[in-house]
Structure 1
Amino acid sequence: MLFESSRIVFKKMTSDHTELYHTWRNDIGIMQSTSPFLDVYHLEETREFIDHVILGSPSSKSYIIVEKESDTPIGIISLINIDYKNRNAECIIDIGDKNYWGKGYGTEALKLLLDYAFLEMNLNRVSLRVFSFNKNAIKLYEKVGFKHEGNSRQSLFREGAWHDIIHMGILQNEYLQA
Protein backbone atom coordinates (compact mmCIF):
# COMPACT_ATOMS: atom_id res chain seq x y z
CA MET A 1 0.00 0.00 0.00
CA LEU A 2 1.29 3.45 -0.92
CA PHE A 3 0.30 5.11 2.37
CA GLU A 4 1.93 2.62 4.66
CA SER A 5 5.39 2.08 6.11
CA SER A 6 6.66 -0.25 8.78
CA ARG A 7 5.33 1.94 11.61
CA ILE A 8 2.61 4.21 10.21
CA VAL A 9 -0.35 4.30 7.87
CA PHE A 10 -2.24 7.28 6.45
CA LYS A 11 -6.00 7.29 6.77
CA LYS A 12 -8.09 9.74 4.79
CA MET A 13 -9.21 12.53 7.06
CA THR A 14 -12.97 12.68 7.57
CA SER A 15 -15.36 14.69 9.73
CA ASP A 16 -15.11 11.82 12.24
CA HIS A 17 -11.66 13.19 13.14
CA THR A 18 -13.05 16.57 14.23
CA GLU A 19 -12.77 16.07 18.00
CA LEU A 20 -9.25 14.63 17.73
CA TYR A 21 -8.07 17.47 15.50
CA HIS A 22 -9.82 19.94 17.82
CA THR A 23 -7.71 18.64 20.73
CA TRP A 24 -4.48 19.14 18.76
CA ARG A 25 -5.60 22.51 17.37
CA ASN A 26 -6.19 23.86 20.88
CA ASP A 27 -2.89 22.61 22.34
CA ILE A 28 -0.72 25.72 22.45
CA GLY A 29 2.40 23.55 22.86
CA ILE A 30 1.73 21.98 19.47
CA MET A 31 0.50 25.08 17.66
CA GLN A 32 3.28 27.30 19.04
CA SER A 33 5.69 25.96 16.43
CA THR A 34 3.33 25.33 13.54
CA SER A 35 0.46 27.82 13.44
CA PRO A 36 0.70 31.57 12.97
CA PHE A 37 -2.43 31.92 15.11
CA LEU A 38 -2.43 30.96 18.79
CA ASP A 39 -6.15 31.13 19.28
CA VAL A 40 -8.39 28.84 21.28
CA TYR A 41 -11.12 27.46 19.06
CA HIS A 42 -14.62 26.28 19.88
CA LEU A 43 -15.53 22.82 18.62
CA GLU A 44 -17.96 24.30 16.09
CA GLU A 45 -15.18 26.48 14.63
CA THR A 46 -12.98 23.40 14.23
CA ARG A 47 -15.85 21.48 12.64
CA GLU A 48 -16.41 24.31 10.16
CA PHE A 49 -12.67 24.51 9.42
CA ILE A 50 -12.47 20.77 8.72
CA ASP A 51 -15.65 20.68 6.62
CA HIS A 52 -14.90 23.75 4.50
CA VAL A 53 -11.13 24.18 4.46
CA ILE A 54 -9.69 20.69 4.87
CA LEU A 55 -12.37 18.45 3.36
CA GLY A 56 -14.19 20.97 1.20
CA SER A 57 -11.24 22.13 -0.86
CA PRO A 58 -10.64 20.51 -4.25
CA SER A 59 -7.00 21.62 -4.01
CA SER A 60 -6.05 19.75 -0.84
CA LYS A 61 -5.61 16.20 0.43
CA SER A 62 -5.38 15.54 4.17
CA TYR A 63 -4.54 12.37 6.05
CA ILE A 64 -4.42 11.29 9.67
CA ILE A 65 -1.09 9.67 10.53
CA VAL A 66 -1.78 6.46 12.49
CA GLU A 67 0.82 4.46 14.40
CA LYS A 68 0.14 0.93 13.17
CA GLU A 69 0.97 -1.23 16.19
CA SER A 70 -1.35 0.61 18.59
CA ASP A 71 -3.74 2.00 15.92
CA THR A 72 -3.20 5.43 17.52
CA PRO A 73 -3.74 8.61 15.51
CA ILE A 74 -0.60 10.69 16.05
CA GLY A 75 -0.85 13.59 13.62
CA ILE A 76 -2.07 15.08 10.38
CA ILE A 77 -0.32 15.57 7.05
CA SER A 78 -1.65 17.44 4.05
CA LEU A 79 -0.94 18.61 0.56
CA ILE A 80 -2.60 22.00 0.11
CA ASN A 81 -2.85 24.54 -2.68
CA ILE A 82 -2.40 21.74 -5.19
CA ASP A 83 -1.82 23.26 -8.62
CA TYR A 84 -2.26 20.45 -11.14
CA LYS A 85 -1.45 22.63 -14.14
CA ASN A 86 1.94 23.71 -12.79
CA ARG A 87 2.44 20.44 -10.88
CA ASN A 88 3.17 21.84 -7.45
CA ALA A 89 1.71 21.86 -3.94
CA GLU A 90 2.48 22.90 -0.40
CA CYS A 91 2.75 20.39 2.44
CA ILE A 92 1.88 20.67 6.11
CA ILE A 93 2.66 18.20 8.86
CA ASP A 94 1.75 18.25 12.55
CA ILE A 95 2.54 15.43 14.95
CA GLY A 96 -0.29 16.14 17.36
CA ASP A 97 0.50 13.47 19.94
CA LYS A 98 3.55 14.70 21.84
CA ASN A 99 4.42 11.13 22.89
CA TYR A 100 5.56 10.59 19.29
CA TRP A 101 7.76 13.68 18.98
CA GLY A 102 11.45 13.12 18.25
CA LYS A 103 11.06 9.46 17.30
CA GLY A 104 11.28 9.70 13.50
CA TYR A 105 7.55 9.56 12.78
CA GLY A 106 7.61 12.96 11.10
CA THR A 107 10.41 11.88 8.76
CA GLU A 108 8.60 8.66 7.93
CA ALA A 109 5.31 10.47 7.26
CA LEU A 110 6.93 13.16 5.14
CA LYS A 111 8.69 10.55 2.97
CA LEU A 112 5.38 8.73 2.42
CA LEU A 113 3.71 11.98 1.41
CA LEU A 114 6.55 12.92 -0.95
CA ASP A 115 6.44 9.44 -2.52
CA TYR A 116 2.77 10.04 -3.22
CA ALA A 117 3.29 13.61 -4.45
CA PHE A 118 6.14 12.77 -6.82
CA LEU A 119 5.52 9.15 -7.83
CA GLU A 120 1.72 9.03 -8.00
CA MET A 121 0.61 12.62 -8.57
CA ASN A 122 3.68 13.41 -10.69
CA LEU A 123 4.15 16.79 -9.04
CA ASN A 124 7.31 18.67 -9.93
CA ARG A 125 7.63 20.70 -6.73
CA VAL A 126 6.51 20.55 -3.11
CA SER A 127 7.02 23.52 -0.83
CA LEU A 128 6.50 24.35 2.82
CA ARG A 129 6.84 27.14 5.33
CA VAL A 130 8.51 26.79 8.73
CA PHE A 131 9.13 29.21 11.58
CA SER A 132 12.80 30.13 12.01
CA PHE A 133 12.82 29.08 15.68
CA ASN A 134 11.56 25.57 14.87
CA LYS A 135 15.06 24.09 14.53
CA ASN A 136 13.91 20.45 14.78
CA ALA A 137 11.48 20.86 11.88
CA ILE A 138 14.09 22.66 9.75
CA LYS A 139 16.54 19.81 10.41
CA LEU A 140 13.88 17.26 9.42
CA TYR A 141 13.05 19.08 6.18
CA GLU A 142 16.73 19.41 5.23
CA LYS A 143 17.27 15.70 5.99
CA VAL A 144 14.48 14.74 3.58
CA GLY A 145 15.96 17.02 0.89
CA PHE A 146 14.12 20.34 1.11
CA LYS A 147 16.20 23.39 0.14
CA HIS A 148 15.97 26.88 1.59
CA GLU A 149 14.31 29.17 -0.95
CA GLY A 150 13.90 32.38 1.01
CA ASN A 151 12.55 34.11 4.09
CA SER A 152 9.63 36.30 4.96
CA ARG A 153 11.52 38.44 7.41
CA GLN A 154 10.03 39.17 10.81
CA SER A 155 6.62 37.84 9.82
CA LEU A 156 5.78 36.21 13.13
CA PHE A 157 5.72 37.67 16.62
CA ARG A 158 6.17 35.05 19.36
CA GLU A 159 7.14 35.42 22.99
CA GLY A 160 8.17 39.04 22.66
CA ALA A 161 10.34 38.69 19.56
CA TRP A 162 10.04 38.77 15.78
CA HIS A 163 10.82 35.62 13.79
CA ASP A 164 11.21 34.82 10.10
CA ILE A 165 9.10 32.37 8.16
CA ILE A 166 11.44 30.22 6.09
CA HIS A 167 10.29 29.01 2.69
CA MET A 168 11.62 25.62 1.59
CA GLY A 169 11.01 23.43 -1.43
CA ILE A 170 11.99 20.17 -3.04
CA LEU A 171 11.82 19.22 -6.71
CA GLN A 172 10.83 15.83 -8.05
CA ASN A 173 14.25 15.17 -9.59
CA GLU A 174 16.01 16.12 -6.34
CA TYR A 175 13.82 13.76 -4.35
CA LEU A 176 14.25 10.87 -6.77
CA GLN A 177 18.04 11.29 -6.85
CA ALA A 178 18.36 11.27 -3.05
Structure 2
Amino acid sequence: MAELSDLYFLREISQKDVSVINGWRNDRTIVSSLGAPFRYIDVSIDERWVDNYYSNRSSMVRLSICDTKTDVAVGVVYLLNIDWVARNCEFAIMIGDVNHQGRGIGEYATRLAVQHAFNDLNLHRVYLTLLEENTRAFKLYAKVGFKKEGLLRHAVFKNGQYLNLIQMSLISGEICVE
Protein backbone atom coordinates (compact mmCIF):
# COMPACT_ATOMS: atom_id res chain seq x y z
CA MET A 1 0.00 0.00 0.00
CA ALA A 2 1.26 3.46 -0.88
CA GLU A 3 2.35 5.88 1.82
CA LEU A 4 0.11 8.90 2.36
CA SER A 5 3.08 11.13 1.46
CA ASP A 6 3.04 9.49 -2.00
CA LEU A 7 -0.69 10.18 -2.41
CA TYR A 8 -1.15 13.64 -0.85
CA PHE A 9 0.79 16.84 -0.32
CA LEU A 10 0.23 20.29 1.12
CA ARG A 11 0.49 23.54 -0.81
CA GLU A 12 -0.70 27.07 -0.21
CA ILE A 13 -4.31 27.62 -1.27
CA SER A 14 -4.80 29.35 -4.60
CA GLN A 15 -7.58 30.76 -6.72
CA LYS A 16 -7.82 27.41 -8.52
CA ASP A 17 -9.08 25.90 -5.23
CA VAL A 18 -11.89 28.41 -4.78
CA SER A 19 -14.68 26.54 -6.58
CA VAL A 20 -13.84 23.28 -4.78
CA ILE A 21 -13.65 24.92 -1.32
CA ASN A 22 -16.83 26.88 -2.05
CA GLY A 23 -18.63 23.62 -2.81
CA TRP A 24 -17.60 22.21 0.57
CA ARG A 25 -18.59 25.37 2.41
CA ASN A 26 -22.05 25.15 0.83
CA ASP A 27 -22.51 21.48 1.77
CA ARG A 28 -24.56 21.15 4.99
CA THR A 29 -23.25 17.63 5.64
CA ILE A 30 -19.62 18.77 5.63
CA VAL A 31 -20.28 21.94 7.64
CA SER A 32 -22.33 20.00 10.21
CA SER A 33 -19.16 18.55 11.80
CA LEU A 34 -17.41 21.92 12.00
CA GLY A 35 -17.74 24.60 14.65
CA ALA A 36 -18.99 27.22 12.20
CA PRO A 37 -22.68 27.57 11.41
CA PHE A 38 -23.93 26.82 7.91
CA ARG A 39 -24.31 29.79 5.58
CA TYR A 40 -24.77 30.04 1.85
CA ILE A 41 -21.59 31.48 0.35
CA ASP A 42 -21.39 32.75 -3.21
CA VAL A 43 -18.23 31.79 -5.08
CA SER A 44 -17.39 35.49 -5.56
CA ILE A 45 -17.20 35.84 -1.75
CA ASP A 46 -14.70 32.98 -1.58
CA GLU A 47 -12.69 34.52 -4.42
CA ARG A 48 -12.38 37.71 -2.38
CA TRP A 49 -11.67 35.60 0.73
CA VAL A 50 -8.60 34.07 -0.98
CA ASP A 51 -7.48 37.49 -2.24
CA ASN A 52 -7.79 38.83 1.31
CA TYR A 53 -5.73 35.90 2.59
CA TYR A 54 -2.90 36.83 0.22
CA SER A 55 -3.00 40.38 1.62
CA ASN A 56 -2.78 39.13 5.23
CA ARG A 57 -0.43 36.16 5.10
CA SER A 58 1.66 37.37 8.04
CA SER A 59 -0.92 36.17 10.54
CA MET A 60 -2.07 32.90 8.95
CA VAL A 61 -1.13 29.93 6.78
CA ARG A 62 -3.84 28.41 4.58
CA LEU A 63 -2.93 25.14 2.88
CA SER A 64 -4.72 22.83 0.48
CA ILE A 65 -4.40 19.08 0.99
CA CYS A 66 -3.95 17.85 -2.57
CA ASP A 67 -4.07 14.58 -4.45
CA THR A 68 -0.60 14.08 -5.96
CA LYS A 69 -1.99 12.71 -9.24
CA THR A 70 -4.41 15.55 -9.95
CA ASP A 71 -3.18 18.50 -7.82
CA VAL A 72 -6.85 18.91 -6.84
CA ALA A 73 -7.65 19.87 -3.25
CA VAL A 74 -9.38 17.17 -1.19
CA GLY A 75 -9.22 19.24 2.00
CA VAL A 76 -7.69 22.24 3.70
CA VAL A 77 -5.63 22.82 6.81
CA TYR A 78 -5.07 26.20 8.41
CA LEU A 79 -2.84 27.88 10.99
CA LEU A 80 -4.79 31.01 11.94
CA ASN A 81 -4.48 34.02 14.22
CA ILE A 82 -0.72 33.60 14.54
CA ASP A 83 0.53 35.55 17.53
CA TRP A 84 4.26 36.09 16.97
CA VAL A 85 4.84 37.37 20.53
CA ALA A 86 3.10 34.53 22.41
CA ARG A 87 4.18 32.17 19.58
CA ASN A 88 0.83 30.42 19.18
CA CYS A 89 -1.86 29.91 16.56
CA GLU A 90 -5.25 28.36 16.00
CA PHE A 91 -5.53 25.12 14.00
CA ALA A 92 -8.37 24.16 11.66
CA ILE A 93 -8.85 21.34 9.16
CA MET A 94 -11.52 20.09 6.80
CA ILE A 95 -11.43 17.06 4.53
CA GLY A 96 -14.10 18.24 2.11
CA ASP A 97 -13.98 15.49 -0.49
CA VAL A 98 -16.03 12.67 1.05
CA ASN A 99 -14.22 10.14 -1.16
CA HIS A 100 -11.02 10.93 0.75
CA GLN A 101 -12.46 10.88 4.28
CA GLY A 102 -11.63 8.01 6.63
CA ARG A 103 -8.26 7.28 4.99
CA GLY A 104 -5.96 8.88 7.55
CA ILE A 105 -5.52 12.08 5.54
CA GLY A 106 -6.73 14.23 8.42
CA GLU A 107 -4.09 12.84 10.76
CA TYR A 108 -1.41 13.10 8.07
CA ALA A 109 -2.23 16.75 7.29
CA THR A 110 -2.58 17.63 10.98
CA ARG A 111 0.87 16.25 11.72
CA LEU A 112 2.41 18.11 8.76
CA ALA A 113 0.74 21.39 9.74
CA VAL A 114 1.76 21.28 13.41
CA GLN A 115 5.30 20.27 12.45
CA HIS A 116 5.35 23.30 10.13
CA ALA A 117 4.10 25.48 13.00
CA PHE A 118 6.76 24.24 15.40
CA ASN A 119 9.75 23.51 13.17
CA ASP A 120 9.45 26.19 10.47
CA LEU A 121 7.48 29.03 12.09
CA ASN A 122 9.02 28.57 15.57
CA LEU A 123 5.62 28.61 17.25
CA HIS A 124 5.28 27.13 20.72
CA ARG A 125 1.55 26.31 21.06
CA VAL A 126 -1.17 25.28 18.62
CA TYR A 127 -4.77 25.36 19.84
CA LEU A 128 -8.14 24.40 18.41
CA THR A 129 -11.80 24.04 19.22
CA LEU A 130 -14.12 21.29 18.06
CA LEU A 131 -17.73 20.34 18.55
CA GLU A 132 -18.12 18.19 21.66
CA GLU A 133 -20.11 15.67 19.63
CA ASN A 134 -17.31 15.26 17.05
CA THR A 135 -15.70 12.26 18.76
CA ARG A 136 -13.88 11.20 15.58
CA ALA A 137 -11.99 14.50 15.44
CA PHE A 138 -11.32 14.40 19.20
CA LYS A 139 -9.68 10.96 18.84
CA LEU A 140 -7.55 12.19 15.91
CA TYR A 141 -6.31 15.24 17.82
CA ALA A 142 -5.59 13.19 20.95
CA LYS A 143 -3.64 10.68 18.85
CA VAL A 144 -1.44 13.50 17.52
CA GLY A 145 -0.88 14.75 21.09
CA PHE A 146 -3.40 17.55 21.63
CA LYS A 147 -4.59 17.82 25.23
CA LYS A 148 -8.10 18.83 26.30
CA GLU A 149 -8.02 22.15 28.12
CA GLY A 150 -11.67 22.76 28.72
CA LEU A 151 -15.27 22.94 27.62
CA LEU A 152 -16.90 26.04 26.16
CA ARG A 153 -20.55 25.61 27.07
CA HIS A 154 -23.19 26.59 24.51
CA ALA A 155 -20.49 28.33 22.47
CA VAL A 156 -21.99 27.88 18.99
CA PHE A 157 -25.47 27.90 17.52
CA LYS A 158 -26.03 25.26 14.83
CA ASN A 159 -29.15 23.66 13.45
CA GLY A 160 -31.41 25.46 15.90
CA GLN A 161 -29.51 24.57 19.07
CA TYR A 162 -26.58 25.70 21.16
CA LEU A 163 -23.65 23.28 21.22
CA ASN A 164 -20.55 22.92 23.36
CA LEU A 165 -17.03 23.25 22.06
CA ILE A 166 -13.97 21.45 23.41
CA GLN A 167 -10.75 23.47 23.63
CA MET A 168 -7.51 21.56 22.99
CA SER A 169 -3.86 22.51 22.55
CA LEU A 170 -0.52 21.05 21.64
CA ILE A 171 2.79 22.44 22.92
CA SER A 172 5.97 22.03 20.85
CA GLY A 173 7.68 18.81 21.87
CA GLU A 174 4.41 17.08 22.82
CA ILE A 175 3.54 15.73 19.36
CA CYS A 176 3.05 11.97 19.51
CA VAL A 177 5.17 10.03 17.06
CA GLU A 178 3.44 7.11 15.47
**TM-score under structure 1 normalisation?**
0.89
Match of 2:61 in 1: 61
Number of matched residues?
A: 174
Structure 1 residue 13, shift from structure 2 partner: 0.8
Q: Kindly report structure 1 stretches of 4+ aligned residues shifted beyond 6 Å.
A: none
Structure 1 SS opposite 2:86: coil
**TM-score under structure 2 normalisation?**
0.89
* 1:5-154 matched pairs, under 5 angstroms: 5-52=5-52, 54-57=53-56, 58-154=58-154
Q: What is the distance in 1 between the residues matched to 2:45 and 2:24?
A: 14
Identical residues among aligned pairs (%):
31
Question: Does the C-alpha gap of structure 1 residues 37 and 55 become closer, same or farther in structure 2, counting only changes over 3 Å?
Answer: farther
Residues 63 and 77 in structure 1, CA contact (< 8 A), matched pair in contact too: yes
Residues 64 and 73 in structure 2, CA contact (< 8 A), matched pair in contact too: yes
Structure 1 residue 72, shift from structure 2 partner: 3.5
* Runs of 5+ unmatched residues, structure 2: none
Q: What is the distance in 1 between the residues matched to 2:154 and 2:127?
A: 20
Structure 2 SS opposite 1:39: coil
Structure 2 SS opposite 1:107: helix
* Runs of 5+ unmatched residues, structure 1: none
Q: What is the distance in 1 between the residues matched to 2:54 and 2:120?
A: 20
Aligned residue type for 1:74: V
* 1:139-178 matched pairs, under 5 angstroms: 139-175=139-175
Residues 148 and 167 in structure 1, CA contact (< 8 A), matched pair in contact too: yes
